[in-house]
Amino acid sequence: MVQELRLRISLEEAHQPDILLQKAADFLSIPVNQVNAVKILRKSIDARKPQIWFDYKVSVYIDEKPPESLHYRFDYRDVSKAPQVHIVGFGPAGMFAALRAIELGLKPIVIERGKDVRSRRRDLRLINQERIVNENSNYCFGEGGAGTYSDGKLYTRSLKRGDVRRIFENLVYHGAKAQILIDAHPHIGTDKLPKVVQNIRKTILKYGGEIHFNSRLTDFIVENQRVKSIIINDSKEISVNHLILATGHSARDIYELLDRHHVYMEAKSFAMGVRVEHPQALIDSIQYHCPIGQKDELLPPASYSLVQQVGDRGVYSFCMCPGGFIVPAATGKSEVVVNGMSPSKRNNKFANSGIVVEINVDTDLTKYEKYGVFKGLAFQKDLEYLAFVAGGKNLQAPAQRLTDFVEGRLSSSLNETSYQPGLKSAPLHSILPKIIGKKLRKAFKAYGQKMPRFYTELANVIGVESRTSAPIKIPRTNNLHHPQIINLYPAGEGAGYAGGIVSAAMDGERIMEAIKKGSI
């Protein structure tokens, strides 16, 4: 017999061995020896009050053995001679589209502008240590996309867009820890994700798919409302039957390419702001109601989620990274862009998070109307260039102490940081457009009331966090292809249909299923 229960265990009880087994037996009023296993289905922490609780959803197996942990079996088969689908971009949408193609009996041919994971590491080292940006191989471009070296958070609110559990189990199948199937806010870690990505590549190649690195889409030829062929690296022409465009939110040249061919796109609202970085021990102390440096060993590094309405606009935390690093996410030579990531153990001494302001593309960017569909993109570029100049034109990021930013004064010194290229004291409070800076300053004060000690001179504000999502949407029909070009399938974050690893992966799968259903 199997019983599904919800159990609540105090932090003090959690130190006892076999406490879940004992709690389950007590709840069911049966002897402990009748419980064969307690399988954790979901685990979360309630730290809203000083008494901290672990909340569990479990299946209790009484006088029977539990089944295998994975529900799905992935039916990969040889597709080396199957009908082909071309996929541009090997981030989450492209990877999972390719995996789904193999299950459906289609041959994926992936075109990726960047390098494989191992080669990509060298370019990341150049960015951090020598401040040299390779425009095709960086924190955004390359095998696995932006997600590979940007934390690996798997939390999503897109529960209606696909099967989240299926995506998680496929990640476990390819080497992620099974813990992601349990945690309320699952996370793989930027140190573990590259191996998972490599394993996905191996599966695609093993079953007859193709992956071509260092291959940038530079043009395409359209005939009779169909993409007839694509041009790679300005030289090689490849015929295509179906083309999935999964190039990510930073592939600005792809938007320009589509525009040259008069492919319809829409300007899309997005969010921009800064990264704030605190000592992790301080965030632990705030969230777990304990003295600094005295967090219980059973508790993970603490995170937070903040939102504040300032006037008619939301200001909120984005991609919060406990025990993490701030990284240079620029894809060009005259821009500063920051992002965050955490290793699997989240054991760095800093906590960082994007704090961003909603930008309404219809009402906030009147000075950029001359750029048409590219007005949001032009606004992004301008702010990234301002940050580049303010940082000294060498990938240092402009920064202020949090209190100085809010009070409008230049910082005479800055706190230690995880951002390897370094920080330069700069008046971010005046550099940022009023629509962003003014709202951030009000929100930070409000956050200090919600989380006492969050508003502190021990924190740095670092600019700019500008790549939260694409400022452009590439429309598609109910059949998921573009309304003008019936074999072009815009996918994932770069097309405006996802906001993270899981939602992008689900979108890639949906598109491949639509291709199989309607066209092959």
Tens-digit pLDDT string for the chain (520 aa): 999 999 999 999 999 999 999 999 999 999 999 999 999 999 999 999 999 999 999 999 998 888 876 778 899 999 999 999 999 999 999 999 999 999 999 999 999 999 999 999 999 999 999 999 999 999 999 999 988 886 667 866 655 566 899 999 999 999 999 999 999 889 898 889 999 999 999 999 999 999 999 999 999 999 999 999 999 999 999 999 999 999 999 999 999 999 999 999 999 999 999 999 999 999 999 999 999 999 999 999 999 999 999 999 999 999 999 999 999 999 999 999 999 999 988 999 999 999 999 999 999 999 999 999 999 999 999 999 999 999 999 999 999 999 999 999 999 999 999 999 999 999 999 999 999 999 999 999 999 999 999 999 999 999 999 999 999 999 999 999 999 999 999 999 999 999 999 999 999 999 999 999 986 5
Which residues of 367-500 form beta strands (DSSP E)?
397-401, 423-425, 460-465, 472-473, 488-490
Give yes or no for a contact between 231 and 219, defined as CB atoms under 8 angstroms apart: yes
313: left (phi over 0), alpha (psi -120 to 50) or beta: beta
CA atoms of 162 and 334, how far apart (whole Å): 38
Give yes or no for a contact between 84 and 110, defined as CB atoms under 8 angstroms apart: no
Structure tokens at 435: 């629509």
CA atoms of 82 and 391, how far apart (whole Å): 52
What are the structural domains, with CATH classification, of the chain?
2-62 (3.30.70.2700), 84-265+474-518 (3.50.50.60), 267-465 (no CATH)
CA atoms of 346 and 340, how far apart (whole Å): 12
- Enumerate residues 6+ apart whose C-beta is below 8 A from 320: 303, 304, 305, 340, 351, 352, 353, 354
**Whole-angstrom Cα Rg for the chain:** 24
Give yes or no for a contact between 96 and 509, defined as CB atoms under 8 angstroms apart: yes
pTM over 0.75: yes
Q: Is 184 exposed, middle or buried (0-12, 13-18, 19+ CB in 10 A)?
A: exposed
Query: Is residue 500 classed as helix, strand or coil in its secondary structure?
Result: coil
Structure tokens at 440: 């951030």
